[in-house]
């Protein structure tokens, strides 16, 4: 669904802005092309990848690329302590942990790779389409240990449809993303803007 929407938007509105960040913007065509390239750089060998990042264009493209590749994304809160992050990493068992270039990863347990070190080589194996589970986000753990909540592609699609119906949004509306993308309110804004 998501990757098909990117392709559709790139074909229908190639020069229309799809994403603004500070003074930068990407058109739908640029976003689709750069997402596809990032998907090829990452490849489809990972079933589950954890992500620690701030809100930025590179993270946005990586998220969409992981969805292209049929990878489940574990969103981790960068404000947690290393021990708290390691608990969630051990619990969710990702094959790779992607971190933005400004995150200090000392002490993280697992296969850690910063954005700047994602290989430049374009792989042929990619583009499986969305996995059944698109995202995993952890509860705050106020009544016990944090628990990973699995969210499907259909969950995100239905949420976006309900928002569209309740808010009467159109293709000309712009979504303002102020919440961190590791939180459901942030990630759902990304999904709503696509749907």
Residue 191 has pLDDT above 70, yes or no: yes
Residue 107 has pLDDT above 70, yes or no: yes
The residue segments making up the domain with residue 19 are: 2-194
Q: Which residue has the higher pLDDT, 54 or 172?
A: 54
The pLDDT score that the predictor gives to residue 126 is 67
The pLDDT score that the predictor gives to residue 3 is 57
Number of domains in the chain: 1
Residue 29 has pLDDT above 90, yes or no: yes
Nearest to 78 by CA among 57, 109, 105: 105
Q: What is the mean pLDDT of the chain?
A: 90
| Interacting residues of 136 by C-beta distance below 8 A, sequence separation 6+ | 48, 72, 73, 74, 75, 92, 148, 149, 150, 151
The pLDDT score that the predictor gives to residue 2 is 61
The CATH code of the domain that includes 184 is: 3.40.50.12780
Residue 8 has pLDDT above 80, yes or no: yes
Which helix or strand (DSSP H or E) is residue 7 part of? Answer: helix 2-12
Q: How far is CA 94 from the centre of its chain?
A: 15
The pLDDT score that the predictor gives to residue 34 is 95
Across 177-188, average pLDDT: 92
The model's confidence at residue 136, banded by pLDDT at 50, 70 and 90, is: very high
The model's confidence at residue 1, banded by pLDDT at 50, 70 and 90, is: low
Q: Where are the alpha helices (DSSP H) in 51-171?
A: 57-68, 82-92, 153-167
Contact 101, 114 (CB under 8 A): yes
Nearest to 49 by CA among 33, 35, 78, 70: 70
Q: How does pLDDT run across 35-89, given as a tens digit for each residue?
A: 999 999 998 889 999 999 999 999 999 999 999 888 999 999 999 999 999 999 9
**The token pair that represents 183 in the structure block:** 């939180």
Contacts for 145-150: CB closer than 8 Å, 24+ residues apart? 145/87, 146/84, 146/87, 146/88, 146/91, 148/74, 148/88, 148/91, 148/92
Q: Where on the phi/psi map is residue 12: left (φ > 0), alpha (ψ -120 to 50), or beta?
A: alpha
For residue 149, the cross-strand partners are 137
Across 90-98, average pLDDT: 97
């Amino acid at each position: 669904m998501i990757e098909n929407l990117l392709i559709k938007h790139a074909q229908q509105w190639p020069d229309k802005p799809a994403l603004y960040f500070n003074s930068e913007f990407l058109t739908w065509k640029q976003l689709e092309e750069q997402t596809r390239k990032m998907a090829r750089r990452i490849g489809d060998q990972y079933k589950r990848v954890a992500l620690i990042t701030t809100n930025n264009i590179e993270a946005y493209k990586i998220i969409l690329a992981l969805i292209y590749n049929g990878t489940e994304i574990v969103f981790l809160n960068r404000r947690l302590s290393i021990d708290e992050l390691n608990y969630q990493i051990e619990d969710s068992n990702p094959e790779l942990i992607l971190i933005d270039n400004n995150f200090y990863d000392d002490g993280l347990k697992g296969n850690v790779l910063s954005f700047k070190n994602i290989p430049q080589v374009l792989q042929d194996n990619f583009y499986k389409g969305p996995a059944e589970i698109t995202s995993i986000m952890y509860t705050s753990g106020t009544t016990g240990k944090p628990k990973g909540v699995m969210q499907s592609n259909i969950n995100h699609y239905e949420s976006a449809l309900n928002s569209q119906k309740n808010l009467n949004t159109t293709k000309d509306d712009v979504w303002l993303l102020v919440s961190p993308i590791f939180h459901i309110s942030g990630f759902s804004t990304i999904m709503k803007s696509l749907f």
